[in-house]
Amino acid sequence: MAGRTLFDKVWDPHVIEELGDGVQLLHVDRHLMNELSGHRGQLEIAQRGLKMRNPELAMGTLDHVVSTAPGRRGGPAPWAERMIEIFRVESARAGFPVHDFGDDGQGIVHVVGPELGFTLPGVLLVCGDSHTCTHGALGALAWGIGTSELTHVLATQAIVQQKPKTMRVRFEGTLARGVSAKDMILALIGRLGTAGGAGYAVEYAGEAITALDLEGRMTVCNLSIELGAKIGMVAPDEKTYAYVKGRRYAPKGDLWKPALAHWRGLPGDADARFDAEHAVDCAALAPQITWGTSPEDVIGVHEMIPDAKPEALAYMGLEAGRPIAGTKVDRVFIGSCTNARLSDLRAAAEVVRGHRAAAHVNAWVVPGSQRVKREAEAEGLDDAFRAAGFEWREPGCSMCVAANGDRVEPRARCVSTSNRNFVGRQGPQARTHLASPATAAAAAIAGEIADARAL
């Protein structure tokens, strides 16, 4: 028999029933919810007279519509307050926990899931948010679902799904100084395009992936959806098991050893075959930054703006043939489910120490969770950012999605560590350049797009 992939080893045990034509009914082990999508599903099952089947397999947090202003107590507007309150009330009625303001578990759902040990190797995890693929960094099978699917999971703890094909991407070689996980995945999207992973579950492998810590792997998996793939995974290894051990929801006591034994059997077999294979030479990578209105519009920070997509260039206010470096910026945002973890904030703080943000730049740092915020403050990272003229804010999705009062002004240019640079994503007519935390920090200091390595 042919060897099995990591994906097959996790998918197959979750099949409840074959429905025909490659469609299967799958059991859901973990269900993450936030106030934005969660409250809609909760209201739907309540209106239909249904009950949540397995509240013990769910966890909630507040992230999308909460204010991130210092001293915040809720949402930025009455509609947001209503959404938050519905989520609290319906969750309490169903009997599952919501991590509220002040709790370690409050923050961006794809940050708190792994850091609380709710995300585990080998589980099937869903959430009403497209960046649920982040959790695949721990060897979980995870993807985002829509409102109707969310309602179905609430009521049945199962989901109907077409089994995707498999793709492996090998990141070979060693990253140069100042090049990060964000640069790796942006470079891949630039090469394959935003439809390159459509229809596939992607496994990331190779020397450079193995060298990443778990937070770096989460950044890579986070942008799988920008590659067109709902699912992105990394095989669990000793780094994964060390990361999980001792976390709040992780197996403990007598449950730890059998769990660990199971997880060690998940990595794909040496002779496993994939439907598609790609390789990236990481030794040749430079810091990446986007220039257009799609994540695939990406170049190295020292490259010239390409003569392509004239509508995107017009929207971004850029001229083809000119260097991207030196382009004046107005805003810098360090945060989001892509790059708001402790290691991300450390990388940005390393760049800004001893410097001051340019006078015309409004720079924000938004930690991914209360735990990240507290740990960063214990290390003095908040002091480093404040000394450099950055604003230190409360945890939440913030300016990534502009659904919470945090927006980039019309035609203002923002270097952002988030995951999407679509037209209007960070606010009407906002111009977004996606980059790593180090590159974003360098842009704030220089007042223009710059290579962090020069600082």
Tens digits of per-residue pLDDT, 92-109? 999 999 999 999 899 999
Tell which CATH architecture fits domain 8-162+237-257. 2-Layer Sandwich (3.30)
pTM for this entry: 0.97
Give the rounded distance of the alpha carbon of 225 from its chain centre: 10
CATH number of 165-234+268-283: 3.40.1060.10
Residue 455's pLDDT is: 87
Match 């794909």 to its residue by tokens: 268
CA–CA distance, 147 with 124 (Å, rounded to integer): 18
The backbone torsions φ and ψ at residue 194, rounded to the nearest 5 degrees and listed phi first, read -75, -5
From 176, 177, 172, select the one nearest 188 (Cα to Cα): 172
CA–CA distance, 30 with 132 (Å, rounded to integer): 12
Residue 351's pLDDT is: 98
> What are the C-alpha distances in Å from 426 to residues 48, 82, 321, 398, 399?
35, 23, 26, 9, 6
Tokens of 412: 């203002």
CA–CA distance, 289 with 416 (Å, rounded to integer): 10
List of the chain residues with pLDDT < 70? none
Tell me whether domains 8-162+237-257 and 288-454 share a fold: yes
Residue 178's pLDDT is: 94
Using CA of residue 271, residue 194, residue 159, residue 214, what is the dihedral sign?
A: positive
Amino acid identity for residue 301 in this structure: V
Considering just the CA atoms, what is the radius of gyration of the chain in Å? 21
* CATH superfamily label, 288-454: Aconitase, domain 3 (3.30.499.10)
Amino acid identity for residue 354 in this structure: G
From start to end of 104-199, where are the E strands? 124-127, 141-144, 158-162, 165-172
Task: Say if CB 149 and CB 294 are below 8 A apart.
Answer: no
CA–CA distance, 414 with 293 (Å, rounded to integer): 12
Listed by start position, the domains of the chain span 8-162+237-257, 165-234+268-283, 288-454
Tens digits of per-residue pLDDT, 242-296? 999 999 999 999 999 999 999 999 999 999 999 999 999 999 999 999 999 999 9
Q: Which residues sit opposite 438 in a β-bridge?
A: none
